[in-house]
Amino acid sequence: MIYLDYAASAPMSNAAINAYSDAAKLAFGNTSSLHDAGGKAALLLENARTIIADKLGVNKYGVIFTGSGTEGNLLAILSLARGGKGKHIITSDAEHTSVHAAMNTLEREGYEITKLPFTDNGIIDVELLEKSIRNDTVLISIQHVNSEIGTIQPVEKIAQIANAYDIPYHVDCVQSFCKLDLKSFSSNVDAITISAHKIGGPKGCGAVYLNPKRRVLPVFPGVTHERGLRGGTVDTPAIVAMVTAIEEYEYRLEDFWKYRIKLKELLKHSPCSFIEGKGEEQLPSIIGICLEGVEGQYVMLRLNEDEICISTGSACDINSASGTKAILAMEYNLSKARQFFRVSFGVGTTEAEVEKLGTTLLKMIEELNI
């Protein structure tokens, strides 16, 4: 099998699996218990919190462990918005489903949501964002890397604007964590969401940074774990496995650019079009493609017959009939959006696999006579 869907999930690394197993056997105590078994688990938990804080370049007391990137987005957005004094929020049309879910919840509570489109290059227009700010704007939530087409948003510029107006800024960094330098902006934002399973850690584990200086209202008031912001006994083995994956993860930037260029070269005379940003505005490991006249779901299923795994966009949108949010945010029509499919590279990807993908796509195009 050729697996090219790393943006959806990466396989757990051997080191992460071993770390999980060891922690489950040796640190099974509840981190809130006062006996030695609880103390051993609590020590591992706080060490993990320090590792994540150092990787992000943030205050460790703002790091809250969650069950996923989705939960992190929900907690950050709802807690910051409800803790503010305004009723207006700025986000984009192309955010992750969890962000839209949080916005829908707030909209029902009387908040007004401004959803910005993407430019032709798949990024936010920062001038339009600044023009959208109002006196009652209480939160900005714009992702770092789009999960469908891999464009890198101008988060540093957005953070500068947010700080100038003293507006909390939340950044979904699930796709960029450990792949891009987050320290270039982390000290200037108020919330960052990350997840373990995109980088070889376990599913069901993530973290969110919430600036301790910002006022937040817990989604579930009265819970006791994680500063009262996230209830439930923490999964210590999963958290240990997560930080193990973080410490060993290496993003193969040069290789992924080479593979991306290779695939584009193979398909340059085909009816495939690449949906992407310009130069440094693009993460090379996520490739959005449209095949003229063919639905992306057909391409995905056809490649699966040849044991090649890709996707039609975010796995969280798999049941959507409207196509991908990023394509629609770039103002492509619905027909174009349904032609979209995504290829994403990871630690196990080889040049031979990319070449196999390209030749299989060309064979499929020939069979379809397009």
Least confident of 84-88, 114-118, 221-225, 339-343: 221-225
DSSP-H helix ranges across the chain: 14-26, 36-56, 69-83, 97-108, 126-132, 155-164, 236-248, 253-266, 296-305, 325-329, 334-338, 351-368
Least confident of 27-41, 77-91, 154-168: 27-41
Identify the domain boundary among 248, 282, 316. Answer: 248
pLDDT band at 30 (very low <50, low <70, confident <90, very high): confident
Q: What is the pLDDT of residue 303?
A: 97
Q: What is the pLDDT of residue 316?
A: 54
Residues 48 and 165 placed together within one structural domain of the fold: yes
pLDDT band at 322 (very low <50, low <70, confident <90, very high): very low
Q: What is the pLDDT of residue 321?
A: 47
Average pLDDT for residues 279-295, to the nearest whole number?
96
How far apart CA 95 and CA 91 sit, in angstroms, is 8
Residues 191 and 126 placed together within one structural domain of the fold: yes
Q: What are the strands of the beta sheet with 286-291, ordered from one edge?
A: 272-275, 286-291, 340-344
Q: What is the pLDDT of residue 370?
A: 82
Q: Taking a C-beta distance cutoff of 8 angstroms, is the pair 137, 169 a contact?
A: no
Residues 333 and 323 placed together within one structural domain of the fold: yes
Tell me the angle at which helices 236-248 and 36-56 cross, rounded to the nearest 10 degrees: 30
Residues 262 and 199 placed together within one structural domain of the fold: no
Domain count, the chain: 2
Residues 260 and 173 placed together within one structural domain of the fold: no
How would you classify the pairing of strands 286-291 and 272-275? antiparallel
Residues 227 and 103 placed together within one structural domain of the fold: yes
Catalytic residue among 173, 205, 272, 316: 316
Identify the domain boundary among 227, 248, 269. Answer: 248
Instruction: Give this prediction's pTM.
Output: 0.94
Tens of pLDDT along 194-223? Answer: 999 999 999 999 999 999 999 999 888 888
Residue 24: domain span: 14-248
Identify the domain boundary among 248, 283, 311. Answer: 248
Q: Please give the biggest Cα pair distance in the chain.
A: 70
Mean pLDDT value across the chain: 94
pLDDT over 90 percentage in the chain: 87
Residues 277 and 174 placed together within one structural domain of the fold: no
Residues 223 and 285 placed together within one structural domain of the fold: no
CATH number, domain of 323, equals 3.90.1150.10
Residues 64 and 47 placed together within one structural domain of the fold: yes
Residues 206 and 285 placed together within one structural domain of the fold: no
Active site residue 173: no
Q: What is the pLDDT of residue 37?
A: 84
Average pLDDT for residues 48-52, to the nearest whole number?
97
Residues 94 and 236 placed together within one structural domain of the fold: yes
DSSP-H helix ranges across 117-235: 126-132, 155-164
Residues 241 and 316 placed together within one structural domain of the fold: no
Least confident of 169-173, 198-202, 310-314: 310-314
